[in-house]
Structure 1
Amino acid sequence: MSDSELNPDTTPMMVKQAKVLPIQNSLLVGSEPIYSCQLDGNGKAVTIDAQGEATVKKPCWLHLDFANPATIEWINTTNVLPELVKEELIKPIQIPKETRFDTGILVVLKGVNFTPNSLPDPIVTFRFFITDNLIISTRHQQIDAIASLKENLDKGIGPVDVADWLIQVSELISDQVNLSFDSVHNKIVKLEDDVLNQRLFSHKEIGRVRKQLYLLRRLLSPQRDIFVRISTERISWIDDNDRQHLHDISTQQNHYISDIDSCLLRLSSLMEQINGFLAESTNKRIYLMTLFTMIFMPITFLTSLLGVNLAGIPFNEAHWSFGVFVVIIVLVCIGSIIWLKSKKWM
């Protein structure tokens, strides 16, 4: 089931939100869902199309594009969502959050679409309202984690109920973060090897890696707390095993945050080493220039003094004067070198 698949011919549905609530035919058809299905309880899903009908016996998942005008109209007019939830599902800019309602919970998560050899990875936002048998999710950008969830449903290893859906979505989003972090970590290892081999590189490379780490940390910190809160909520359709899974996801994300902090310290150390190499290289160049200056300073003085075009310079008419002048220059150069070596400056 591709993420771009539309279901404009969806038939009337009956879902419940705590109790049975009807979704009117005109509203459902007008919502133009990206994906709509009903979980069969065995890891697969039945797509809701013209021949299908959702019932209250099994969970229904409706996945929408919040930027679609038809979706906005449907969300604003449907009676299955609380008013506050409607605003959150279509709000363009969101921060990770979790809000409990009498009939369900609203969750806003952020993830990454891992792109190999490309930093930073794009950040995507995923919103969903979930009850005991209804899931309404919205997004605008393509989300790789949702595409993976659909593939799992096609293979028969997808979620069997709403709690399992929540856990699998959380794990898949966390997996994308893990892929992104592993890519960044491998990049840091390569940079460290380059520095040890004294192969310098542009500071922009470190800047891109550091930016991705900051994005991941900013993404993970609030979501770690979200999974902790969900795991401690007294929700009837989340059992103890589900709470343990959510707690494990939170613990895993906490490890990622610790690893990110460690990587940021390693990048700071890399910058110090690179700056040290650059300073040492600059000092060597200045040192060599100083040595050349000291060697040629006496020669410059003599040539300047004897090059003055004035009468009265000693032996200016003797045939051997030029040879003696050259010998004097050579002796001065040799003397300067001996003196520099005695001072251990060469």
Structure 2
Amino acid sequence: MSAQSNASRPDFIIDSWDFSSHPAQPIETGFQGAPNRWFHIQRDLPGIAEWLEASEIPAPLIDAVLEEDTRPRFERINEGFLLILRGVNMAEGARPEDMLSLRILYYKGAVYSFRKRPVRSVAVIRERLQRQDGPETLHDFIVMLIEEMNNRLEELLDVIEAEMEGLEDDERESTSVRQRKLTELHRRMLRLVRFVRPQLTAIERLAVDAPKWLEAENVQWLVNERDAIQRELESLEMLLEQVWMLREHLQQEVAEKMNRNTYWLSVIAGVFLPITFLTGVFGINIGGMPGVENADAFWIFCGSLAAVAVVEFLLLRRLRFW
């Protein structure tokens, strides 16, 4: 395996850069772990475990970085750390809130990052490295990667906030449509909170332990990124509160509308109840009904019903039913 690693690039290595000099240079040969090197790896291809073993990475760490289902976390190890993050899904047609897993292993001075699907933040740094405008050191790379992932999350929150403002201001759509959109927005934000909250904890723990591996400037940069993700989490929680308040407002509108409709139906029923009673009484077909022999009896009866309706209307008006 070692000979193969030295001879050619393994299929699972997407990117490989050497930060021993500035600017960083792409690795063309000798694809093995060494200080000041970064390897970006497609984690669902065969041969990765053997390659990592050849780089003297312990088996428990190999299992951790290749695990299928993970949540953001930080784990300190003897000669480095394991940091698992989630990034916004920027793929075309994908839902951004379905966050992508990125595993970062810092071991013996080298960085190994593992992905299953493309992570936009990594692509941004790759483009900067290719322009020779990227991070100068491997430590700069680690913090810049976290910064780029925070930037993507902040962009998504701006989009969600704009959608929220649109739902608050747009009264042209029906209440049911707005409620449906709010429910979907609520689900999207819950999916984000599910990963952003533990991600904040992971970054906080990294910031505490960072002085063991990173320079003071990088540590301060990392603290700034921790504060940034704290603000993003607070923004998410505030947006969730706004969603709840708007849903309550819309539900109250629906309830008031139903109460108003029920009230008017009750008023109408109250007006027609005596009229219905009278028409029922005079509609029976038995002997002795008054007005049977009178040709004007029908019109007299209709006038009486109209008079009853007017009296009821005036009475309800006086009682302030509306």
TM-score of the superposition, structure 2-length normalised? 0.89
| Distance (Å, rounded) in 2 between the aligned partners of 1:297 and 1:116 | 63
> Is contact 1:62-1:136 (8 Å) kept?
yes
Bigger CA drift: 100-109 or 24-33? 24-33
> d(CA) in 1 for partners of 2:56 and 2:267?
83
Q: 1:338 to 1:243 in 2, by over 3 A?
A: same
In the other structure, the counterpart of 2:82 is 106
Residues 1:26 and 2:4 aligned together: yes
1:174 to 150, 171, 195: 150
**How far apart are the structure 2 equivalents of 1:78 and 1:39?**
21
- Per the TM alignment, residue 187 of structure 1 is displaced from its structure 2 partner at its CA by 1.4
8 Å contact from structure 2 (residues 34, 110) kept in 1: no
Match for residue 63 of structure 2 among 84, 87, 107: 87
Q: Residues 44 and 153 of structure 1 are in contact (CA less than 8 Å); yes or no, is this contact kept in structure 2? A: yes
Find 2:183's aligned residue among 183, 193, 207.
Answer: 207
Question: What does residue range 137-156 of structure 1 map to in structure 2 within 5 Å?
Answer: 137-156=113-132
Q: 1:45 to 1:214 in 2, by over 3 A?
A: farther
Q: Distance in 1 between matches of 2:34 and 2:287?
A: 118
Provide Cα deviations, 1:234-269, integer angstroms capped at 9, x if missing partner: 655411110000011111111112222222221111
Q: Describe the shift of the 1:309–1:72 C-alpha distance in structure 2 as closer, same or farther (beyond 3 A).
A: farther
- Please report how far the alpha carbon of residue 128 of structure 1 lies from its aligned counterpart in structure 2 after TM superposition: 1.8
Residue 227 of structure 1 aligns to a residue whose secondary structure is helix
Cα-to-partner distance string for 1:54-84 (whole Å, 9 max, x where unaligned) = 7999722211111112324433x42431222
CA distance in 2, matches of 1:148, 1:323: 87
Higher mean C-alpha displacement, 78-87 vs 34-43: 34-43
Aligned to 1:308: 284
CA contact (8 A) 2:74 2:84 kept: yes
Aligned residues: 319
Equivalences for 1:47-62 in 2 at 5 Å?
48-49=27-28, 52-53=29-30, 59-62=36-39
Q: Cα deviation per residue 1:35-57 (whole Å; 9 max; x = unaligned)?
A: 223236434532x33xx457999
- Cα distance in 2 between the residues matched to 1:161 and 1:64: 19
In structure 2, the CA distance between the partners of 1:114 and 1:341, relative to structure 1 (3 Å rule), is: farther
Offset of residue 186 of structure 1: 1.3
Question: What code does the residue aligned with 1:59 have?
Answer: N
What's the CA shift string for 1:138-170, capped at 9, x where partnerless?
111221111111112122221221101101110
Looking at structure 1, the residues matched to 275 and 23 of structure 2 have their Cα atoms a distance apart, in angstroms, of 89
Identity of aligned residues (%): 20
Name the CA distance, whole Å, in 2 between partners of 1:106 and 1:174.
Answer: 18
Question: For residue 310 of structure 1, what is the amino acid of its counterpart?
Answer: I
- 1:7-41 deviations in whole A, cap 9, x for unaligned? xxxxxxxxxxxxxxxx8132464453122232364
Name the CA distance, whole Å, in 1 between partners of 2:318 and 2:121.
70
Task: Report the more deviating stretch, 57-66 or 133-142.
Answer: 57-66
Deviations 1:84-107 (A, max 9, x none): 211111111112122222322211
Hey, which of these two has a bigger chunk of helix by percent? 2
Change (3 A) 1:31 1:98: farther
User: What is the alpha-carbon distance in structure 1 between the residues aligned to residue 54 and residue 40 of structure 2?
Assistant: 15
> Which one of 19, 22, 28 corresponds to residue 42 of structure 1?
22
CA RMSD after TM alignment: 2.6
CA distance 1:341–1:161, shift in 2 (3 Å): same
Instruction: Quote the offset at 1:116 in angstroms.
Output: 9.2
Q: 1:316 to 1:239 in 2, by over 3 A?
A: same
Contact 2:5–2:32 (CA under 8 A) maintained in structure 1: no
Structure 2: any 5+ residue segments left out of the alignment?
none
1:69 maps to: 46
Q: What letter matches 2:303 in structure 1?
A: V
8 Å contact from structure 1 (residues 98, 107) kept in 2: yes
Paired AA for residue 64 in structure 1: I
Question: What amino acid does structure 2 have at the position aligned with 1:150?
Answer: R
- Cα pair distance change 1:116/1:210, threshold 3 Å: farther
- Distance, in Å, in 2 between the alignment partners of 1:162 and 1:43 is 11
TM-score, normalising length: structure 1: 0.84
Report the residue type matching 1:63 in the other structure: H
In the alignment, is the contact (CA less than 8 A) between 2:128 and 2:134 conserved in 1?
A: yes
Q: Does the 8 A contact of 1:220 with 1:257 survive in 2?
A: yes
